[in-house]
Structure 1
């Protein structure tokens, strides 16, 4: 037991130290300007071609204005303006009727600072596609040795029933004190 615990501890320490060794190290006096990405909420997140989409964000500062880009889906640019919610910018665009199904990234560049916020829009061809339930079996490689033959399935169920009944009978005899 102790040997297993030591082995697991040593393995965990080795993995942790490898992660630290693989982490990038920044040194010297070099400073990199980083564009921070924020969150852009897309409503509805799943839309049909030709529908209106609203986007909003609270990550653009006090002015709350931004220039949106829905070019990935073919809708072009749009403006996000301050809304009635303090510090929140809101805008709208129309998904083109020629839009193909898929997931598209919507980007907005905040007017204050050097900040981009992103969100995802999924385009589907019909509302029925949203509620598709999976069907069929999953090929996991586990079980299924007997197949779907009803005779073999019935034989297996009968064997299990006999085993359960025999086990119950033996436990009952033991509880009564008759012995086994």
Structure 2
């Protein structure tokens, strides 16, 4: 007659206990990952699936302005008017700053350089060749990025995603066609946020 082998007492209970502990550990790791990486993952998905929308700043100021070319010209929707730094000082180091209230999640920045989109007018004034983009957020220090611009009329797009942006500054680092009697013209800056 057949005899089943005897189980040692407690061995099945130990396996069940280990299985339960393993499941609890996996749930704890999953919960930690959701708290730690969940918001970033949700933001990454939303960034890729939503269409950015244009946003106007609540204020625009500049380190200096040439007569007839105020900082506000940067966001007036017209690319035949422009901001230029004051002519009595070097353009390098001059900046224009946009403030956003409430803060935005920056997605794209479109820059139009020069005095006009028409080539013959475009070349009459100097144009920024390099800009430093500086961003401030409400919960942290500023971040910077170099923007290298082509010497051509028309829009130039820069994709740069940063959340909670309260201020955006564009500082002139270098220029095309700079010479005495010419202003460094920055026609338009379009800012796009995630809705």
Task: Compute the TM-score of the two structures, normalised by the length of structure 2.
Answer: 0.30
Q: Which has the higher strand share?
A: 2
Q: Which has the higher helix share?
A: 1
Higher-RCO chain (CA-CA 8 Å, sequence separation at least 6): 2
Task: Compute the TM-score of the two structures, normalised by the length of structure 1.
Answer: 0.31
- Larger Rg over CA atoms: 1
